[in-house]
Amino acid sequence: MSEVIYNRIAMLRAERGISRRQLAEALGVHYQTVGYLERGEFSPSLHLALRLSRYFEVPVEVLFSIEPFPRIGHSTSEAQRSA
């Protein structure tokens, strides 16, 4: 059984106006890798997760989680009730 890793890559990328291709070039990966990461089809290595964290200048916990992130505008307790 594989563990699901949730991420906010697409949200941070969109918020900053960065294309998948631009992010991929900055990280030295194929642009499709960024898409696989965003869709949760691929879990990053620790090295790639840390590079993403450094790129976006946020703690790795802001980018990745083993629990779903709460929807914007919802408190954590509301998100847990609806899960």
Alpha helix positions (H), the chain: 9-15, 20-27, 31-38, 46-56, 60-63, 76-82
Residue 13 pLDDT > 50: yes
Query: Left (φ > 0), alpha (ψ -120 to 50) or beta: where does 40 sit?
Result: left
> Residue 74: its pLDDT value, please?
63
Q: Give the C-alpha separation, 37 to 34, whole Å.
A: 5
Which pTM does this prediction carry? 0.79
Count of alpha carbons within 13 angstroms of residue 58, beta-carbon side: 15
Mean pLDDT of 4-32: 96
Tell me the pLDDT tens digit for each residue of 38-78: 999 999 999 999 999 999 999 999 999 999 988 877 655 55
Q: Which domains does the chain have, with CATH numbers?
A: 6-64 (1.10.260.40)
Inter-residue contact 60 to 53 (CB < 8 Å): yes
